A and B are shown apart, each in its own frame.
Chain A
Amino acid sequence: MAEIISKKSATKEPGRRPPAALDKADTGDQISRRSFFSWLSIGWFAFIAATGGFFTMMLRFFFPNVLFEPVQTFRAGFPDDYTIGEVDLRWKNKYGVWIVRNNEGIYVLSTTCTHLGCTPNWLNSEQKFKCPCHGSGFFKTGINFEGPAPRPLERFKITLADNGQIIVDKTIKFQQEKGQWNDPEAFLNV
């Protein structure tokens, strides 16, 4: 084999000498085919183990020991703190909710636009929530009426504590398009 190749290359390029590695192939001080493959497998297993270990550790970072998140359930004062017919902005920055009181009671609206998640502004003179990103508009009830928002703002669970304070639970949300606004916890009768 080696001879043929060297002859061939010799005929093609007369000045070139036969490759050294081909000459030495059977002498034994080179690595054999069998041990090459076992080293190769060991190498690959080591590589996969190292990468796997690395990604396992990466995965661990998704579950931190301590979470610095604002609490999802909070006390929002007494029902009398809220004026009838007004959108209350006091919890917007801290908890991302608007608390609205109408003639019948109180409900809690999420400040996340249902289109792409910007925070709409409450425009008191126009009596609507208006999103600055793509122009979605919502009535005071949270119903979408202009712009691209496909569904109304979400409402959060609102209940009364024993001492008469309002408790807002953001972990439970009510979506109008699913008919959940009729749930007794979506609206606080006052």
Chain B
Amino acid sequence: MESFKHFIDTISNPTILFTSTLIIFFFIFPINDWFDKWNRRLKLYVLWSSKSMVIASILMAAFFVIGISDPDFRSIVLKPDNVPISGLIFLVYFFTWLSMHQAYENDAKLERGEPIDEQYDAPNDKVLVWPDLVYVEFIALILCSAFLMIWSIGLPAPIEEPANPAESPNPAKAPWYFLGLQEMLVYFDPWMAGVVLPTLIIVGLIAIPYMDNEPAGSGYYSFKNRKMSIALFMFGWLVLWDMLIIVGTFLRGPNWNFFGPFEYWDIHKLEALTNINFSEYIYIKWMNTGLPKSIIFREIWGIIVVLGYFLILPPLLAKTMCKKLFARLGSFKYSFFIMLILIAITLPIKMYLRWMFNLKYIIAIPEYFFNF
């Protein structure tokens, strides 16, 4: 038991957790034909069968039930604030399974030439809004209200001492739905993680129907025809959003240090986190000279790296990996799309740079509030 807890704590280390997730993710949601080939070879699509869902749910529930015997795990998981996140893990898993299950079923049916589930069969499929739909909605509304009432009575919101600007709670956690943003703030300047990136998330979501107007596989659950779209969206949703919420809820402890789920929240846990900027790497560590006085000379390397990333990668990818995508989208849509993707990928890049090299900012101009 102890060794199991120790194992879980070890793989909860962000570098291990994130790297394994990244590798496994694209085999489960194959983003291109190569991954799809391996997905088939390893038979990973059985994850979307009904049997797998039952087994996975039981395993997840067992993990929570057994884990609760541990006092540290219990204090995190049963905190009223965190109960929704435990529920979120199950709900997100279930609905991801449900849609992928239906998608694979439909793909198989289309291959066999059978009609898919969503095929509209008039007039047999006709249902009246009143009373059929409204009744169901009404019952769902009552059940939800009853559930929320019982929940709020059973697990009351914690009422703490009056707010004091001089005393921030330790750890100070955002509401659960913002924990992903709070995690982003650890790696970015507040201006980037608090304003620019959230805006771009919304812009990107709005842009989806304009970027992806491919008629194949549209209007019903399917995976085969839109592997890249679904895999990319699921990557953003499951890894860059949900996983960061889960990390922020269960793995962030006092002083915003990382803790394993079975680890005691020691306020004096010492982590060597001396972060330095890219300019300090170049001038102090590699060239052994002091930082130049002029901001431009100091930050020129970081600016070159960032500009190179955003200006050289898109045409390079269009010529190599994303050839088909470029041909399909055209240069304008392609540029917009690839920019959004590249900006989204800066988050995992900066996370890794921080964890592995203690790199804080690639461009750091605190004099003018610009840090990237």
Contact = CB atoms under 8 A, between A and B. Distances in A.
Interface string B239-271: 000000000000000111100000000001010
A93 B256 contact: no
A130 B164 CA distance: 17
Given A148-B188, A150-B361, A150-B364, A133 B168 contact: yes
Nearest to B277: A150
A61 B257 CA distance: 42
B187 A148 contact: yes
Given A132-B254, A134-B185, A150 B371 contact: yes
Contacts of A133: 168, 171-172, 182, 185, 256
Contacts, number: 82
A8 interface: no
Interface centre among B171, B188, B268, B275 (most CB of A within 10 A): B275
Contacts of B367: 177-178
A137 B273 contact: yes
A178 B293 CA distance: 11
Main secondary structure of the interface of B (DSSP, over half): loop
A126 B275 contact: no
A115 B190 contact: yes
Interface stretch (A35-43, A117-125, A158-166): A117-125
Interface residues of A, number: 28
A145 B185 contact: no
B274 A150 contact: no
B165 A146 contact: no
Nearest to A89: B166
Interface in B169-191: 169-172, 182, 185-190
Give the size range of B's interface with the partner.
20 to 34
A151 interface: yes
20 contacts: A93-B167, A96-B165, A111-B166, A115-B185, A116-B190, A118-B168, A120-B168, A121-B168, A123-B268, A131-B168, A132-B171, A132-B254, A133-B171, A135-B257, A146-B273, A147-B275, A148-B185, A148-B189, A150-B364, A177-B366
The 4 A-B pairs at the shortest CB distance, nearest first, are namely A135-B256, A132-B170, A151-B366, A146-B273
Given A119-B165, A119-B168, A132-B168, 15 more contacts: A93-B167, A111-B166, A115-B190, A119-B166, A121-B255, A132-B254, A133-B172, A133-B185, A134-B256, A135-B186, A135-B273, A146-B273, A146-B274, A146-B275, A178-B367
Interface of A: 92-93, 96, 111, 115-116, 118-121, 123, 125-126, 130-135, 137, 145-148, 150-151, 177-178
